[in-house]
Amino acid sequence: MIVVAGAGAIGANVAYHLALLGAREVVLCDRGEIAGGSTSRAMGGVRQQFSTAAEVRLAQESIGFFEELGPPFFQQVGYLFAATTPEGLARLEERMALQRSLGVPVERARLPAGVNGGDVLGAVACWKDGLADPAAVTRELVRRAQELGVRVREGEDARRLDRDELVVCCGPWSAELAPELPIRPLCRQLLLTAPLELDERLPMVVEEETGFHFRRRDGALVLAMGDAAPRWGFETVVDESVFGDRLERLAHRFPPAAGTTIANAWAGLYDMTPDAHPIVGRIADGVYAACGFSGHGFMQSPAVGRALAEEIVLGRSSVDLSPYRLDRFDREAVFPETLVL
């Protein structure tokens, strides 16, 4: 029996692709509920614009799956990065060159209607990227997996189940099942504005220098930005002291939202690794891992789910998983992913 621990986006994808490959006796379990952990609190962006080839390739392998899902699960409205300094613009150009060399259709772009470009020196966008509903996508994958014979157990600790193979997909809690995993939880929070009149084609908008970004969700905007001092640990209390700053940034970058308020806020956890790349593959006899995605798990979950399922069932993967092996930390991780939002 194969036990997949963690019923978020990663675990659901692994279980679904195991079943597609003909694996029998697959159990997807979670101490909580389906999509009840970090997946339920994710921003839901889906992008191919990363700073390293390894991350770009994972995202490329995933985008087709999201396109197949389509609305209402995925809205292909694009991801736009705007730079306000010469240094920031140089970084955008450098990343665009890498991404285009790998086949990602990134291009210089004009700012969408409503976005203030008075201080913007340049912008790039990939219109194949977009926005999704992480919890809804995960539940849909679980539904498909169950149709293929996967058993789902909510409120079940994987450590209590007999199994032949264990797949650890527990995000920031993964080290509880496999202590050798070098994962640290990092708290990040999202803010939801009051309802606004918004263009349905508004892309994810990201400020290169500050990391401040926003997206449309159900007639409002979701705002996010890293904290001045990283909040390491499992505490997920919302810090209301930043609300004023975030609303000022929004009013500057997107004047149509000036005067809005914060209607809701929540915090979730990134499962960070030392190089911000995930850990994917066999980590011990009968034990596999797919975790440490450092905030990118949902958008990379289709590629990772298929690749790891192939490794488990077929003994080989159609995606090169060598950059994501646990033993890389015994050497030295020399190509960290720098674009962590």
Q: Are 125 and 99 in contact (CB under 8 A)?
A: no
pLDDT (0 to 100) of residue 54: 85
Q: What predicted TM-score, i.e. pTM, was given to this entire model?
A: 0.92
pLDDT (0 to 100) of residue 104: 96
- CA angle, corner 138, sides to 67 and 25, nearest 5? 115
pLDDT (0 to 100) of residue 112: 96
Low-confidence ranges of the chain (pLDDT < 70): 332-341
- Burial of 245-275, coded b for 16+ CB within 10 Å and e otherwise, reads ebbebbeebbebbeebebeebeebbbbbbeb
pLDDT (0 to 100) of residue 55: 86
DSSP 206-267: EETTT--EEEEETTEEEEE---SS-EESS-----GGGHHHHHHHHHHH-GGGTT--EEEEEE
Q: Is residue 337 in some structural domain?
A: no
Question: In which domain, by residue range, is 141 found?
Answer: 2-330
Q: Is residue 339 in some structural domain?
A: no
The Cα–Cα gap between 161 and 88 comes to 50
CA dist 158 to 184, 294, 301, Å? 21, 23, 20
Query: How many distinct structural domains can be found in the chain?
Result: 1
Residues 6+ apart with CB under 8 A from 251: 257, 258, 259
Q: Is the dihedral of CA 62, 65, 69, 71 positive or negative?
A: positive
Q: How far is CA 268 from the centre of its chain?
A: 12
Q: Is residue 335 in some structural domain?
A: no
Q: Is residue 244 in some structural domain?
A: yes
pLDDT tens figures, 137-154 = 999 999 999 999 999 999
Residues 128/293/185/12 CA torsion (nearest 10 deg): 90
Amino acid identity of 90? A
pLDDT (0 to 100) of residue 330: 85
Q: Are 104 and 129 in contact (CB under 8 A)?
A: no
The Cα–Cα gap between 47 and 128 comes to 8
Q: Is residue 218 in some structural domain?
A: yes
Q: Is residue 336 in some structural domain?
A: no
Q: Is residue 260 in some structural domain?
A: yes
Q: What is the CATH number of the domain that holds 274?
A: 3.50.50.60
pLDDT (0 to 100) of residue 52: 87
Residues 6+ apart with CB under 8 A from 211: 225, 226, 341
Tokens of 211: 């990391």
Q: Is residue 316 in some structural domain?
A: yes
